[in-house]
Structure 1
């Protein structure tokens, strides 16, 4: 079994990212400071979609800043993990018919903001890496139910 870092193809990246509900978006401000904030999201085809209320995320989108979206999953006991990055230009969805269609997707915001907007990130690049499953890291303890010292 290999313990080397595995580079993932686009199809695998998109398959993996559909398995999680929370990711992070990142963008650089004018001064070079990078903001990274969590979002819950849903994939609409090959495109991540999230909702956000007015604030720094929406300001970055309105300013036309490129965004990087990251999602991952890990299993510490098995020392296995993956991470996917999608970089592209975001857009606020304003078409009423498209907004209604997006409302039918299984995106459940953790906070309900009455003035939240849908944001779609059209992928320019998709990349990912995985640390494959490898031996070690798992401990099994057997408990004797007849042991009264517990």
Structure 2
């Protein structure tokens, strides 16, 4: 990579969704007032949304009190990395048809616990960035402008 190349590239919406579809684990950020929490969740992409399962507890309580969420997924290799952030609204799936659709998307719990509540994140925005990983540029000596 040349010293004049930008190591950061903005992903298109299609590239962002492709990366989301290629993973199963992400991080859900919730907030109520001054309290911000982050939860690792396994998920599936369902059309233009993200679905996951949960059980009663702090995550479900926080989603019920404030449906505004952030969801982030990333990955890396030795030479590349990427991150996709979904801003949206979370809501429990209400109908049997919606739950069946979520299950058909491949949504399965990773650990052997009962998680009967199905949640869908409806995106308000999706943004992604890809990064080329290289050693840090030289900091000493003359710098190019």
Q: Same fold (TM over 0.5)?
A: yes
Which TM-score applies when normalising by structure 1?
0.80
Q: 1:100: Cα distance to partner?
A: 2.0
Say yes or no: does 1:48 pair with 2:50. yes
* SS of match in other structure, 2:110: coil
Aligned equivalent of 1:139: none
Aligned equivalent of 2:61: 59
CA RMSD of aligned residues (A): 1.8
Name the count of aligned residue pairs.
133
Find the structure with the greater CA-based Rg. 1
Q: Which runs of 5+ in 2 are unaligned?
A: 136-145
Q: 1:62: Cα distance to partner?
A: 1.1
Moved runs in structure 1, 4+ residues, more than 4 A?
none
* SS of match in other structure, 2:62: helix
CA contact 1:3–1:133 (8 Å) conserved in 2: no
Aligned equivalent of 1:68: 70
Q: 1:133: Cα distance to partner?
A: 5.7
Aligned equivalent of 1:22: 25
Q: Which runs of 5+ in 1 are unaligned?
A: 137-150
Which TM-score applies when normalising by structure 2?
0.83
Q: Equivalents in 1 of 2:83, 2:30: separation in Å?
A: 18
